[in-house]
Structure 1
């Protein structure tokens, strides 16, 4: 009897452990896009957008999932963006340099978690950085500091017995003169799957559109997009 009880306890512990998960990923995002900056004074505005140089950027994320009801799962995603415009000033320097850190703090619930998965929740996107205008007489900076509440959703599916899966993810807001859309879609192949770790390679495409009003007296608009590749581990 004691052996049977011990076996049941071990089985219960194993089943609960299977419901606990930590997901970590590191990606290389080949970013491109456009930048537009307009003074708050409408009479001085220009509709011209400046193209950005293609440049690789790092994006990392860490998520924790658990079986406790009513308490949401958590995810943090960070992207560091440091890119120049293609246009140059008379001295040959980039006309604008964009140095922007984007950090997402996400709380979500798993609505489905099987062959098909669906997550919904809320998030806060924190943007910190600056845009430097390089003129022939010096440099001027527009400081960026914004935290926006967002809605979050993701959906995915697995192809059984193949290691292949696909996922789409969306963060969006239109709040207090701030409009942000952050969308991505990817496919992944798990080349390691065992009781200790699942490890997969992935490839996808991400679009990040940001419109911010009145940043140091300027309205700023960023349109970033491009493919990415990366690795994801599930412990």
Structure 2
């Protein structure tokens, strides 16, 4: 969560920069709180084990800049935390970082994971009722894993990072003169035994619409699926899903 707060501070710098609503460029700044339910596990081989993880509040923040220049894509940068931890009683032997954790032992596991999306996209269709964006996403994944058995004083750690190229799309619907709307947004990749998907569905309500700024509330559902095969010697099969709420400013 600290990393997300730092990202919000950076985005705040853009928020105080004077941009006149869509005369030159449109700037979107948003933040979301996400009550995610994590499932799955990780290992240093294909024999991953499912762990018990706590349901934690995650955070995300983003900024997007849209412009009228033809053929040059719009830009969106988004940062999310996917941190969780928990205690698990093993039902079979498990190895991690060269250590053996025996069946029936209780281990503490921790996942410290952040993702940063660098999205380039085009607005293929855009009006007050329907808009459709299509582009590419370079998702940077940075993670740190820990397994600890305090009874045997055994602890293992692993770090991994990499850029995952993904397809990106967003569809947004609006009900004119009501402030109500909805959107579906997502990125997806599957190659070399890696599978990664990140999508969200939300209802929106624009409660302030003016020449200076628009403010929109978001209420929706987000799902992240992460299936990694041998990234920096790490194997992981994790999923996060749950409801989120958010606020977006449009300058």
Q: Give TM-score scaled by structure 1 length.
A: 0.85
1:53 aligns with 2:62: no
Please say if residues 78 and 102 of structure 1, whose CA atoms lie closer than 8 Å, have aligned partners that are also in contact.
Answer: yes
Among residues 217, 228, 233, which one is paired with 2:244 in the alignment?
228
1:119 aligns with 2:120: no
| Match in the other structure for 1:140 | 156
C-alpha root-mean-square deviation of aligned residues, in Å?
2.2
1:21 aligns with 2:26: yes
| Match in the other structure for 1:3 | none
- Note the C-alpha offset of 1:213: 1.1
Query: What does 1:191-206 correspond to in 2, within 5 Å?
Result: 191-206=207-222
| Match in the other structure for 2:94 | none
Among residues 32, 40, 49, which one is paired with 2:37 in the alignment?
32
How many Å separate the matches in 2 of 1:37 and 1:25?
31
Q: For 1:109-162, what per-residue CA distance to the aligned partner results, in whole angstroms no more than 9, with x for missing partners? A: 001111100000011010012111112213211212121100000101001111
Larger radius of gyration: 1
Among residues 198, 204, 214, which one is paired with 1:188 in the alignment?
204
The aligned length equals 216
How many Å separate the matches in 1 of 2:226 and 2:131?
28
How many Å separate the matches in 2 of 1:203 and 1:94?
36
* 3-state SS, counterpart of residue 178 of structure 2: coil
Please say if residues 148 and 178 of structure 1, whose CA atoms lie closer than 8 Å, have aligned partners that are also in contact.
Answer: no
Structure 2's unaligned 5+ residue stretches are: 1-19, 91-104
1:106 aligns with 2:119: yes
Query: What does 1:1-16 correspond to in 2, within 5 Å?
Result: none
Structure 1's unaligned 5+ residue stretches are: 1-14
How many Å separate the matches in 2 of 1:38 and 1:129?
13
* 3-state SS, counterpart of residue 121 of structure 1: strand
Between stretches 213-222 and 142-151, larger displacement belongs to: 213-222
- Note the C-alpha offset of 1:208: 0.3
* 3-state SS, counterpart of residue 51 of structure 1: coil
